[in-house]
Amino acid sequence: KSTQAKISAFFGAG
């Protein structure tokens, strides 16, 4: 089973 990650988990606030 796999979970869909959110994009904000990879890119910080810029």
Partner 1 sequence: MFEARLPQAAVLKKLVEALKELVTEGNFDVSPSGISLQAMDSSHVCLVTLQLNDDGFEHFRCDRNMSMGIHFGNLSKILKCAGNEDTITLKAEDNADQLTLMFESANQDRISDFDLKLMSIESEHLGIPDQDYSAEVKMPSAEYQRIVRDLTSMGDTVLVSATKEGIKFSTSGDIGTANITLRHNTTPEKEDEQTHIDLKEPVALTFALRYLNNFAKATPLTPQVKLSLTKDLPVVVEYKVGELGQVRFFLAPKIDD
Cα(4)–Cα(14) distance, integer angstroms = 23
Cα(11)–Cα(13) distance, integer angstroms = 7
Cα(2)–Cα(14) distance, integer angstroms = 28
Number of residues that bind partner 1 (CB under 8 A): 14
Minimum CB separation of residue 13 from partner 1 in Å reads 7
Minimum CB separation of residue 12 from partner 1 in Å reads 5
Fill in the per-residue mask, 1 to 14: x = in contact with partner 1 (CB under 8 A), - = not in contact.
xxxxxxxxxxxxxx
The residues binding partner 1 (CB under 8 A) are: 1-14
